[in-house]
Amino acid sequence: MTGSIGILTAGGDSPGLNAAIRAISRSAAADGRQVIGFRDGFRGLMENRTVRLSSDVVSGILTAGGTLLGTSRDKPHKMPVGSRTLDMREKMAEVYEANHLDVLICLGGGGTQKNAFGLMEQGLNVITVPKTIDNDVYGTDVTFGFDTALGIATEAVDRLHSTAHSHHRIIVLEVMGHNTGWLALGAGIAGGADVILMPEIPYDFDVVAQAVLRRSQAGKNFSIVAVAEGAVSREGSQELAEARSRIAAADSKQERKEAKAELAERQSDQVGNTLRLTRGLEERTGLESRLTILGHVQRGGTPSAGDRLLATRLGTACVELVREQTYGVMVASRGDGVEAVPLEEVIGKRKVVPGDHPWVASARSVGVCLGD
Ligand code: F6P
């Protein structure tokens, strides 16, 4: 007699989540297993808010955006409960037992890998499936959601061309990516942006302004700048490094708390960064400039064919692992196949764009300014 499989979706939603839920539920049903979904991420697990993912419930969801289970950014070990923040991992383990689960499958990004690992330490069998439009989960070639967001961001770059051209303007397009520039780089290359800025390469204002001016001198009196929300100038990057070293050097708990708050404030001023960039370029080049922030449009709507395929591939492979009782792993995409990567190897790491990545080389080869 086999137990049930639990599933939850956590972190920012990502196109392809429903396709993965459907793949897991259908594959598990073929084994005669019951699949129980928990609503709104780890909060639903704590509160035992469930939905039985029968074949009726998962029917017709392959093409739907978002997640039918709902999601949240709640962390099991730091859960706001009333006016307090509590470690609720034990409670979650009780709910796991009460539902007679063999395994809990957590669909999420970098934070979810860590949270799932925390539950594993509590004795739960867990498997994770990586998703995020940012494509920055360590240990997997790619995450689902990225391809859809890449398509949306590329279309935005395409569309901005005609209006920037007509008005002889610089248009700065901010795309998502707090810590990594996969989306900005991919959409920038695919859409033909003139400048691409990302967190991995702190930019020099003057270098960017010069690139735009060179275009004007060559008779191209408009420019498109694709920028990841977490991109920072060299000065900004220096300030962040100093804030980080203040945390490391803090002598007391209070000092550390204050230094952390300062870092968080600097990091949260991302819209401010892009606005400053837009205004700074206008001042330095004398060209009228506008800012477009694409925001959550990138996470919405129906998943691309590529994301549906990837989510289905990872979802079915996940059930294979359940059959083998391989737990404590993330189902990573590796070429056309999958690999079970131990969670210990994934947590606390991030897949950033390496300086020698082929996309970086290609961007430079076609004359894109990367701000350095
Ligand atoms: O983690 C994915 C992501 O889409 C990031 O690109 C973005 O910075 C963040 O989520 C936005 O989070 P929220 O939807 O909670 O504002």
pLDDT at residue 55, rounded to an integer: 92
- Residue 244 CB neighbours (<10 A): 14
Spatial distance between the Cα atoms of 29 and 7, rounded to a whole number of angstroms: 14
- Rounded Cα distance between 213 and 215, Å, is 5
Mutating to test ligand 1, I would choose from 73, 178, 293 the residue with most ligand atoms within 8 A of its C-beta, which is: 178
pLDDT tens sequence across 296-349? 999 999 999 999 999 999 999 999 999 999 999 999 999 999 999 999 999 999
Among protein residues, the one with the nearest Cα to ligand 1's atom 2 is 12
Whole-number Å distance between alpha carbons of 144 and 12: 12
Distance 351 CA to ligand 1 centre (A): 16
**The one catalytic residue among 134, 136, 147, 194:** 134
User: How long is the chain?
Assistant: 372
311 Cβ partners below 8 Å, 6+ apart? 16, 17, 19, 20, 23, 131, 144, 303
Beta strand segments in the chain, E: 4-9, 35-38, 50-52, 79-81, 84-86, 101-108, 126-130, 170-175, 195-197, 223-228, 289-293, 329-334, 337-342
Residue closest via CA to ligand 1's atom 15 equals 12
Cβ–Cβ < 8 Å for 139, 341: yes
Q: Report the C-alpha gap between 140 and 156 in whole angstroms.
A: 27
Q: What's the pLDDT score for residue 84? A: 96
User: One-letter amino acid identity for 354?
Assistant: P
Q: How many CB atoms lie within 10 A of CB 49?
A: 15
Cα gap 20→3, rounded to integer Å: 20
Which of the residues in the chain have pLDDT under 70? 1
| Ligand 1 binding site (Cβ under 6 Å of any ligand atom) | 12, 109, 132-134, 176-178, 229, 299
What are the domain boundaries of the chain? 4-144+303-345, 150-236+269-299
Residues 224 and 157: their CA atoms lie apart, in Å, by 7
Spell out the residues 6+ positions from residue 329 whose beta carbon is closer than 8 angstroms to its own.
127, 128, 321, 340, 341, 342, 343
Ligand 1 atom nearest 73 alpha carbon: 15
Taking Cα atoms as reference points, which of 175, 125, 81 lies closest to residue 318?
125
Give the number of the atom of ligand 1 that is nearest the alpha carbon of residue 109: 1
3-state SS class at 8: strand
Q: Write down the pLDDT at residue 272.
A: 83
Among 302, 244, 215, 278, CA closest to 19: 302
Chain centre distance of CA 229? 12
Q: What does the pLDDT read at residue 241?
A: 87
Q: CB-side exposure of 46: number of CA atoms within 13 Å?
A: 20
Question: Ligand 1 center to residue 138 CA distance, Å?
Answer: 17
Cα(176) to centroid(ligand 1), Å: 7
Cα-to-centroid distance, 166 and ligand 1 (Å): 32
Q: In angstroms, what is the span from residue 210 Cα to ligand 1's centroid?
A: 32
pLDDT in the model for residue 266: 77
Does the domain at 4-144+303-345 match CATH 3.40.50.450? Answer given as yes
pLDDT tens by residue, 110-140? 999 999 999 999 999 999 999 999 999 999 9
Atom of ligand 1 nearest to the CA of 298: 4
Active site residue 147: no
Residue 1: what pLDDT?
Answer: 53
Domain 150-236+269-299 has CATH 3.40.50.460: yes
Nearest CA to ligand 1 atom 3: 12
